[in-house]
Amino acid sequence: MSIIEYFLFIFLFNSFFLFGLFLTRSCFLTTAPYAMRISCGARQNIRTPPTYTRWYKDFAYTGGIPANATAPSHITPPLKTLRYFPLSEGPENCYIINRVPKGHYSVRIFFGLVEHEIDNEPLFEVSVEGTIIHSLKSGWSKNDEQVFAEALGFLLDGSVSICFHSTGRGDPTIISIEILQIDEKAYYFGPEWGRGVILKTTSRLTCGTSKPKFDEDYSGDHWGGDRFWHPIRTFGKNADAPRSTESGIKKASTVPNFYPEALYQSAVVSTDSKPDLAYTMDVDPNKNYSIWLHFAEIDATITGAGKRVFDVLINGGTVFENVDVVGMSGDRYTALVLNTTVALSGRTLTITLHPKKGNHAILTAIEVFQVIVAESKTSPEEVRALQALKKSLGLPNRFGWNGDPCVPKEHPWSGADCHFDKSGGKWFIDGL
């Protein structure tokens, strides 16, 4: 081989190698989860500190009026505008976003207040794909966990409709919408889990700390959906003591839920005066709830398996016996997640950790989801026909013919007579 041929060979080899790296890099980038974030009322795309998250300018709405926003909470994205929907715009208005890849998603909506009207707190309902996921309650604007609604579910027809239903008590007012793809098997809780089920986030707590965090703040994997973790430093005076560590946590950010490692670096531990560790929260009665409990043994006084053992009770009934965090996770400083689904008839949910050995219990975080059966939608052909009719007749906005004509069942289109076809599993219009 001549010297010229040698250098030509080296050049071609390096070129193909670099091209291969480029292709590998390109393929890797395509694995990023789909994310659509809308700044409602905004006229241009913006980025927000500290993470410089990109928000798209307002689009895909069926009506409403843009206005300057007052954010009710410090956890609300730092956006300056919103869109509100006065009753003159109809009892139901929606965002209908197309070209959404089929998949499993976390859908989150932040609510706001129109600037200079901070005492006018609106109350309305929110639906995703025709299923009601949230009803705002009085006082929501003063509670971090209520300034947004979040639901996990499957989007399978290339679009998503997010609708706001007026109750006559103020105008629905929306600051932002997020559609974040998550793992296909995220939050699998058993045979009842599937494409016909929606999980509505009821509460998500990080224990032993006073600082609220999003997954983004924790440098979490984007496949986690950027969850919000509400802080609870203690369950009650002298009821427990906080623990924290800077040590790394094993088995945290794993498929399919991708919990951030830093979530497990704080916890609460019960005390000699109150060995039982208990937390109580309000829930809607006669609903099913999926409960996810997080643990990691970060207490330096626990040196191995068998040193701390406790039972977990839900409303007095034992759901997990002899929980040994070190023994079940395999080591200290290692994440352990336990899940159970329960039917609750009352209005409270109480989670109790009762020590069996070692006298104290430890808890890192809690997630509670309401299990909602997704509504069957109206036949797409009939929806298109009614939308064409709406356009040809020039119906005024006050009719509110937006979203699905038949669902939510509590908010059908005015004048539409809906019936359910059990054999086809869809609603159809029987008359107008």
Give the residue from 324, 353, 373 where a domain finishes: 373
Whether residues 396 and 316 fall in one domain: no
pLDDT for 64-107, tens place per residue? Answer: 999 999 999 999 999 999 999 999 989 999 999 999 999 999 99
DSSP symbols for 9-37? HHHHHHHHHHHHHHHHHHHHHTTSPPEEE
Whether residues 308 and 389 fall in one domain: no
Give the residue from 181, 212, 243 where a domain finishes: 181
2 domain-assigned: no
pTM of the predicted model over 0.75: yes
CA gap 404, 407 in Å, rounded: 6
189 domain-assigned: no
pLDDT for the residue numbered 421: 86
CB 175 within 8 Å of CB 114:
no
Total domains in the chain come to 3
Whether residues 211 and 138 fall in one domain: no
CA gap 386, 398 in Å, rounded: 16
pLDDT for 217-271, tens place per residue? Answer: 999 999 999 999 999 999 988 889 999 999 999 999 999 999 999 999 999 999 9
pLDDT for 360-384, tens place per residue? Answer: 999 999 999 999 999 998 888 888 8
Give the residue from 146, 181, 216 where a domain finishes: 181
Q: What is the CATH number of the domain that holds 322?
A: 2.60.120
- CA 3, distance to chain mean position in Å, is 62
238 domain-assigned: yes
pLDDT for 117-135, tens place per residue? Answer: 777 899 999 999 999 999 9
Whether residues 307 and 329 fall in one domain: yes
Whether residues 295 and 363 fall in one domain: yes
Whether residues 222 and 358 fall in one domain: yes
Containing domain of residue 340, as a range? Answer: 197-373
6 domain-assigned: no
Whether residues 39 and 117 fall in one domain: yes
Containing 7, the helix (H) or strand (E) segment is helix 3-29
188 domain-assigned: no
pLDDT for the residue numbered 430: 83
Whether residues 214 and 361 fall in one domain: yes
Whether residues 309 and 336 fall in one domain: yes
User: How sure is the predictor about 308, in pLDDT bands with cuts at 50, 70 and 90?
Assistant: very high
Whether residues 219 and 121 fall in one domain: no
CA gap 210, 16 in Å, rounded: 53
21 domain-assigned: no
